[in-house]
Amino acid sequence: MLGRGVLSRLHCLTQQESNTLTLYVDLDQGSRANRHGGFLVQAQAMLKNLRSESGDDQQLDDAVQRAVRLVSNVEPQGRAAMVVVHPETGLEEIHQAGVHFPASAFWRRGAFLRPVVEAMDENERYAVVLADARNARLFTVYLGEITEHRHLLSDTGARSRGVGVDQWRAEKRHERHHDQEVAAHAKSIIDALRDLALEAPFDRLIVAGSPRTTVQIERLLPRRLHGKLVENISLPVTAGEKEILEGIIEVQQRMERDQERRVVEGLLSEMHEGGRAVAGLEEVCEVVSEMRVWTLVYEQSIDAEGGECRECGILTTKTSGFCPRCQAGLQPVSQLVDRLAQVVLETSGRVEVVFGAAAEDIRAVGSIGALLRY
């Protein structure tokens, strides 16, 4: 599965002087054009255009052949695939994802990973508990894919109904016993959640199912898990994976827009108060090169070229000439924002890509900014 580990490894392996081929292919079988191998025709057309633009390049020809072989052998399971080929080291990999990537091809120094970085920002890993008094199902949702991890079944009895004094007293005793069984069921669910957090760490938690059970779960959640709880949604415990995924994606998108708005507001507030924030491409290049960035924030549509020092590695908006720090030569960087995002992730920072109203707000200060470490 795509994740930070894959990105970091690909970045390290492909940051050579020689170029890397990165190809994003639309695999979605919901599109008629992609069926019966149509996605391979799409990939071949993009690679043909790339070769015509690059002129005579034996390494690119070799990379194209390897990429076509990878795509022709793939069995579509996700909505898109990322193909990375670096002929010099022999690297050739294909990774599928459950989210859409714009179909595109790149032949440049280093793998072009920005679409994946942006998808990771847009899709945090969610854990989902779907429970009633007897059943519980645990899922994780990440990058448009849903995985079921646990199905718990308790021996909780049904609540009784009676009439008359004796029956009423018996019903009250039975109800107390039923509540105890529901609480025990909730505790077993939380134990399973703790185990899941170790096996597949998640960023957010959603609890769904019958109100009586979900209230117990929320009440008993330990502080560490309660801090991840974001919402309680209405879903039957028998819901199918498609229904669950649609519900989670709706929550994700709403929460992501809210978070983007808060991040941009915080960035602008820090700038106005002379705090720890900068905006504008040149200023961001400087603080990223100094490894001072806690959160990089940029508008999704921003595009820029720049340069990287061959010796000390600083990034700049200059595409040629000499490094302002050590006077060594600069090498051009065609996708400067992509390179900035990679450096921030490698230094344990965060990347926040913003859309909609938040994008309009950050556009006023250059479409890119950074919150700095303390």
pLDDT by residue (tens digit) across 47-94? 999 998 888 889 999 999 999 999 999 999 888 999 999 998 999 999
Task: Summarize the chain as % helix, strand, coil (round to 5).
Answer: 45, 25, 30
Choices 1.20.1650, 3.30.960, 3.40.50, 3.30.450: CATH for 4-112: 3.30.960
For the entire predicted model, the pTM comes to 0.62
Instruction: Give span(s): CATH 3.30.1330.30, the chain.
Output: 258-372
Q: Where are the beta strands (DSSP E) in 196-311?
A: 204-209, 229-233, 277-279, 293-299, 306-309
Instruction: Give span(s): CATH 3.30.960, the chain.
Output: 4-112
What is the homologous superfamily of the domain 258-372 according to CATH?
Ribosomal protein L30/S12 (3.30.1330.30)
pLDDT band at 365 (very low <50, low <70, confident <90, very high): very high
Instruction: Give span(s): CATH 3.30.420.60, the chain.
Output: 126-239
Is the CA virtual torsion 308, 309, 315, 316 positive or negative?
A: negative
Say if residue 235's pLDDT is above 80: yes
pLDDT tens, position by position, 8-44: 788 777 777 789 999 999 998 888 888 888 999 999 9
Fold of 126-239: Nucleotidyltransferase; domain 5 (3.30.420)
pLDDT band at 130 (very low <50, low <70, confident <90, very high): very high
- Token look-up 């690119």 returns 60
